[in-house]
Amino acid sequence: MVRFEDVTLRYGQGPEILTGLSLHLEPGSFHCLVGPSGAGKSSLLKLLYLEQRPSSGRISLFGRDVIRLSRDARAGLRRRIGVVFQDFRLIEHLSVYDNVALPLRLAGEREREIRRKVEELVAWVGLAAQLQADPRTLSGGQQQRVAIARALVGRPNLLVADEPTGSLDDRIGNRLMHLFQELHRNGTTVVLATHNLALVERLGHPVLRLHEGQVLQENKDQGSHDLLQGELP
Amino acid sequence: MRSLTRRDLPLSGDPSARFLPLLIAFMIFLAALALVGAEALRQTAERWESGLSGQMTVQLPADAEEEAEARTATAVALLQDIPGVTAVEVLDRQEAAALLEPWLGSAAEDPQLPLPVLLTLTVEGQIAEIAAEARARLSDPLPAAQVDDHQEWIGGLLNLTRGLGALAIFLLLLVSAAAVVTVVFVTRTGLAVHRPVIELLHLMGARDAQVAGRFQLHAMRQGLIGGLLGLAAAAACYGLLDWTLAPTTIALLPPFRIGPRLLLLLALLPAIAGMIALLTARITVLRTLARMP
Ligand SMILES: Nc1ncnc2c1ncn2[C@@H]1O[C@H](COP(=O)(O)OP(=O)(O)O)[C@@H](O)[C@H]1O
Ligand SMILES: [Mg+2]
């Protein structure tokens, strides 16, 4: 599903954020990406959803080398990835409905299908009453749920979320995690970056721990609690 | 893969959407007026050249009436003989007096008033040569006759008109260049507002052509709207000028007509603005996208 081989990343002439990182994620797995702020979690995710090019190394997604692909083929890969951005990136003057519909419209789906899927998903994230609202009038938590609905509406094979609980209170954060768990049970591969260690422990999924530009892959049997100690601020 | 439409991704909510058509309107307004001005001057020069140059005048100095008549007859006979002269018209004493009446009042009718006799010649051919011939033939019998072929006067006026026309063309070129630069600049500035949307569409898996397609159509619409606004404003301005000036200038300037070629060019201005905006948006968006992997 996802394979990184000896991947390095640096921004311009800056230091190497990721240094010879390798990892492999199985289809249908659920991983939590942890590490202190500035460790490079967001950078790793950007490589994953193809916002960044690695400085060196190989990345393959769905069994295809992403660097060698044509631009249009890479666009095709992106359509199989749902991203919940840390800052949501909703389009301001579009209604909740149109924001969520955008991936389907890009894919050229029929309006009737779009309506059915969008209404269902928006209701699922609990925003049925806000379907025609301008996202600017919504609270941070509501905006985040719109962003999640948009990430999911195209039934992605891979879901990437960067600090999705960052701006949420615990109750909504928990509901959100339930959504992700449900998706995971439906076969979607999920990668979730967070520095909320209590959440990671509660989820009990394998942990990808970023440390000095490398990733330590741990599975849940290994007692993640010990490994995560010392990272709390 | 289909392209996005206005309904999928409306872009008109941003302030640049109002700004761009207005600036384009202003540019097209200036371009249209400069174009019409240049054409008006060109037509004026053309008409003066072809219309007035076919005439010259001969002036016989004032004299006692009975002698004047004989001399006028001699002059007419001599002048009619010159090859190229097609008609000789005499402005006689009564007509001359009538012309002077506004200035001299009833004194103009005084038979004692010394008035010159004016002959108007209609000629065909090289007017300067015909004038020289007229001077040669009149010099012996009527040494005081003055031949005026208007060439000096018309030449000066023509030079002025041609100079103004060239200036208008130069202004038109300047305005066109400024219009192109403005449309390019404003379109790019407008797109800067949409950069986050362009990035987002890219990350969602939109192809470059899809993204560019949406933004170039948006820009073209704005260019067209602006162009039409500018053209309408220019037409209103022209109509107003025509309406206020027509009664006063009709005697001075030959009537100006907007021909089919100029009309077509004017009608094309909004389309040109739209095309420039479209191309600029396309190139700008594709360049922006090229920086993303
Ligand atoms: N676009 C960028 N340009 C330059 N440096 C960046 C950029 N994005 C992130 N960085 C740097 O890379 C490092 C890792 O950042 P990031 O991936 O955001 O970490 P995290 O998400 O774990 O907090 C930080 O030092 C940050 O300053
Ligand atoms: Mg981050």
What is the interface pTM, i.e. ipTM, of the complex? 0.89
Confidence category of residue A122, pLDDT binned at 50, 70, 90: very high
Tell me how far the alpha carbon of residue B106 lies from the centroid of ligand 1, in angstroms.
101
pLDDT, one tens digit per residue, over A42-78 is 999 999 999 999 999 999 999 999 989 999 999 999 9
Tell me how far the alpha carbon of residue A86 lies from the centroid of ligand 2, in angstroms.
7
Is A72 in contact with B210 (Cβ distance < 8 A)? no
pLDDT at A27: 92
pLDDT, one tens digit per residue, over A10-19 is 999 999 999 9
**A94 torsion bin: left (phi>0), alpha (psi -120 to 50), beta (else):** beta
Min CA distance, B215 vs chain A (Å)? Answer: 14
pLDDT at B147: 84
Asked if B207 has any chain A CB less than 8 Å from its own CB, the reply is yes
Instruction: Please write down the HEC assignment for all residues of chain A.
Output: CEEEEEEEEECCCCCEEEEEEEEEECCCCEEEEECCCCCCHHHHHHHHCCCCCCCEEEEEECCEECCCCCHHHHHHHHCCEEEECCCCCCCCCCCHHHHHHHHHHHCCCCHHHHHHHHHHHHHHCCCHHHCCCCHHHCCHHHHHHHHHHHHHCCCCCEEEEECCCCCCCHHHHHHHHHHHHHHHHCCCEEEEECCCHHHHHHHCCCEEEEECCEEEEECHHHCHHHHHCCCCC
pLDDT greater than 90 at residue A133: yes
Confidence category of residue B64, pLDDT binned at 50, 70, 90: low
- Beta-strand (E) ranges in chain B? 55-60, 85-91, 117-123, 146-148
Task: Give residue ranges with CB within 6 A of ligand 1.
Answer: A 11, 14, 17, 35, 37-43
pLDDT greater than 60 at residue B3: yes
Burial class (CB in 10 A: 0-12, 13-18, 19+), A19: middle
Burial class (CB in 10 A: 0-12, 13-18, 19+), B117: buried
pTM for the model stands at: 0.73
**A213 torsion bin: left (phi>0), alpha (psi -120 to 50), beta (else):** left
